[in-house]
Amino acid sequence: MKIGARAVFLDRDGVLNRAIVRDGRPYPPASLNEIELLPGTREASAALQAAGYLLIVVTNQPDIARGKQTRGTVDAINGWIERELALDEVRVCPHDDGDACACRKPAPGMLLEAARERNIDLAASFMVGDRWRDVEAGKRAGCKTVFLNRGYRERQASGFDHEAPDLPAAVQWILERGGS
């Protein structure tokens, strides 16, 4: 079987939509009422799609396991974002660190599973995220990685291929490297 599809894997909160930052730490929106797409997100997503990339969101949502959020609310938020940006797919890890699952970033499980199911060439694909876990998952999956440095007060990402201030700048770098 020939592997050929290219994908851009995207974290959700802080990449596509505004994260709620408290005490320097990012948190997901609690409801649809709190969702705000970041500036340039629609255009950046459309540019990637026009260049032939699959757009797949891979998001950790541990508040489900922690009992702070319902799966229904997470699904409603993801559905709205998926429709707004015409995404190919949204994958969710609902687990917390203690669950030791294969899908919670920095583990690459969500990316590897999508690659198997969609015939994605991971070496020709990218992972864009705003946290060290995103970068690490992309590296472990064999993707090129782009770190959106939001200045959070937490462990910082390292070893990424590129640092960008926002998704539009990340997409410009990706398109310069990946062609169309």
CATH number at residue 49: 3.40.50.1000
B/e letters for 127-163, b = 16+ CB within 10 Å, e = fewer, are bbbbbbbbbbbbbbbbbbbbbbebebeeeebeebbbe
pLDDT over 50 (residue 1): no
129: left (phi over 0), alpha (psi -120 to 50) or beta: beta
The HSE-up count of residue 7 (CA atoms within 13 Å, CB side) is: 32
Average pLDDT for 78-84: 97
Distance between CA atoms of residues 89 and 109, nearest Å: 15
Domain of residue 149: give its range: 6-178
How does pLDDT run across 127-175, given as a tens digit for each residue?
999 999 999 999 999 999 999 999 999 999 999 999 999 999 999 999 9
Q: How many domains does the chain have?
A: 1
Q: 178 falls in which pLDDT band (50, 70, 90)?
A: confident
Domain membership of residue 24 (yes or no) is yes
Q: In the prediction, which pLDDT does 4 show?
A: 85
96 tagged catalytic? no
Domain membership of residue 151 (yes or no) is yes
Report the percent of the chain where pLDDT is more than 70.
Answer: 97
Domain membership of residue 144 (yes or no) is yes
Report pTM: 0.95
Q: 180 falls in which pLDDT band (50, 70, 90)?
A: very low
Instruction: Describe the chain by its helix, strand, coil percentages, rounded to 5.
Output: 35, 25, 40
pLDDT over 80 (residue 2): no
Domain membership of residue 1 (yes or no) is no
Distance between CA atoms of residues 55 and 9, nearest Å: 6
Domain membership of residue 137 (yes or no) is yes
Q: In the prediction, which pLDDT does 3 show?
A: 57
Full DSSP string of 126-146: EEEESSHHHHHHHHHHT-EEE
How does pLDDT run across 66-76, given as a tens digit for each residue?
999 999 999 99
Which pair of structure tokens corresponds to residue 87? Answer: 């995404």
pLDDT over 70 (residue 53): yes
